[in-house]
Structure 1
């Protein structure tokens, strides 16, 4: 396990800029924050229960959307129950830990409950979130034969969304310019590691474990079909009226205005929605607004090499 320090931006609760060092650490070659690294032993030894559901994704691949769909299915379409708490508190983020920087002229640090604390205190059945690559998932999830829903998003759109997330989330490293971030992304030198290894690792794992592997692009194209896949996987049956209700209430437009899902209530001193909203566009093909022809050609060449050993196929546009 290694840690490295880089000078990076963090902002206080008033979002007034200060400069503090950002430290990243590696667990088996996968970059994590220093804070995540500090609790890694506890994460690895986490005790899953047989009826736990794990939602796994690479960061910014449709995680919150999937969480909201799953919760709506589990709560039989009851909107009030789905708004009982924020996404972070409904579905613990197993490896996440962060402390908000102190307010100006204050030494008090705002602490959020860690994902571990929330999960351990939660009654069954639990739905838990992770961005971990498959090899770092706590072994108890496999020992207990837990169900997992994995969502993969095409690399280019995932990259652009992740870049903007870094811009607005002061708990993450400064992404630098888009050009710099593209290089880091291609090299796997971003938090949670290589996108390529992530999607391929989970793709292989689905043949050995109870994993429903979904694609963001399919969900955008035909949400009814993909939600029905999730319902079947969760052994739930709903009539068309309830299904339509779920489709509507988990649409991007509705979720963007839902304070229980859009992260405007949690991490106020960490996420600056004025820089870029947490729920930004939610579309397929936004990468075209950011990739030049030269960047795209270079990315495609590298992509072909890294994805040559898999049957995985992604769509980057409709």
Structure 2
């Protein structure tokens, strides 16, 4: 049996990338049903102050985690201030190190990151019907998502398939295979969350807008979170959380294990143009994204 199979209670496969299947959706191998049951039983929501950063993987999650942490936790205790980003803004599907023993003692506000496939799943696990907690949903061009996840997984050593696959092979055989891609197809994840944005306390942010004008988007986040900040502080947060600053700052991510290099790569929009050999596939993905933007009355970005 594979050492990565952490539960007897999910369908597990190492192909093409190690994953389990829960509720009909592929999830990382560490997202076990036992952990989700533990989360349901142990996580005590603070709806008036908890913040959840929800994304499809590789959509700007780390950037938004850093923004929220910098904005809301500037007066952290020395103990919490020295924590890595994923330890201070933990991942609600990461069974390997979720800090149940610590989060109960954390002051308000707390922040968490999630990739859960649907709001109803997250409601069942965490919200339990109280939908007043703040959710920041970050979305990104699916073509850049595919490129970013390709490079991320290539460096993890989890899969011979990814190590050997060309980008086009990865995109078509993994990203567009609903049975194996983590958290399902991009468009299903986005559609699922945006369809409930008025039922939950949700702010929608686009990665491309953050690239275009990070200060403007950070100001939106601040207003949503009730943080009344002067423009000088908004600009400071934009600088402190910029890609160039983070890449030269030690201790933010788990760089001692090499994770930084797989999580942060370029921090740009449009890198898909350097990877998609199949231009028809790129155009198809742009069409899928455009239809969702139109459906939810979002300003359509330049998807050429």
Common fold by TM > 0.5: yes
Q: 1:215 to 1:137 in 2, by over 3 A?
A: same
- What residue number does 1:187 align with? 177
- What residue number does 1:68 align with? 66
Q: 1:81 to 1:115 in 2, by over 3 A?
A: closer
Unpaired segments of 5 or more residues in structure 2? Answer: 1-8
Counterparts of residues 227-242 of structure 1 (less than 5 Å): 227-242=218-233
- CA deviation map 1:65-112 (0-9, x unaligned): 11111112113599x8995321011111111134xxxxxxxxxxxxxx
Counterparts of residues 96-245 of structure 1 (less than 5 Å): 96-98=94-96, 113-114=97-98, 116=100, 118-120=102-104, 122-133=106-117, 134-139=119-124, 140-141=126-127, 142-143=129-130, 145-170=132-157, 174-175=161-162, 176-183=165-172, 184-188=174-178, 189-245=180-236
- What residue number does 1:110 align with? none
- CA deviation map 1:123-177 (0-9, x unaligned): 4431111111233214342515211111000100111001111011245785333
25, 50, 53: which is aligned to 1:52?
50
Q: 1:300 to 1:169 in 2, by over 3 A?
A: same
SS class of match (1:151): strand
Aligned partners of 2:29, 2:86: CA distance in 1, in Å? 20
- What residue number does 1:25 align with? 20
- What residue number does 2:6 align with? none
Query: Cα offset for 1:211?
Result: 0.3
- What residue number does 2:12 align with? 4
Range with greater deviation from structure 2 (32-41 or 159-168): 32-41
21, 35, 38: which is aligned to 1:39?
35
- Count residues in correspondence: 282
Aligned partners of 1:118, 1:200: CA distance in 2, in Å? 34
Q: 1:288 to 1:169 in 2, by over 3 A?
A: same
TM-score in terms of structure 1 length: 0.78
Residues 25 and 182 in structure 2, CA contact (< 8 A), matched pair in contact too: yes
Unpaired segments of 5 or more residues in structure 1? Answer: 9-21, 99-112
Q: 1:24 to 1:278 in 2, by over 3 A?
A: closer
RMSD (Å) for aligned C-alpha atoms: 2.9
- What residue number does 1:297 align with? 280
Counting helix residues as a fraction of each chain, which structure ranks higher? 2
Q: 1:157 to 1:81 in 2, by over 3 A?
A: farther
- What residue number does 2:4 align with? none
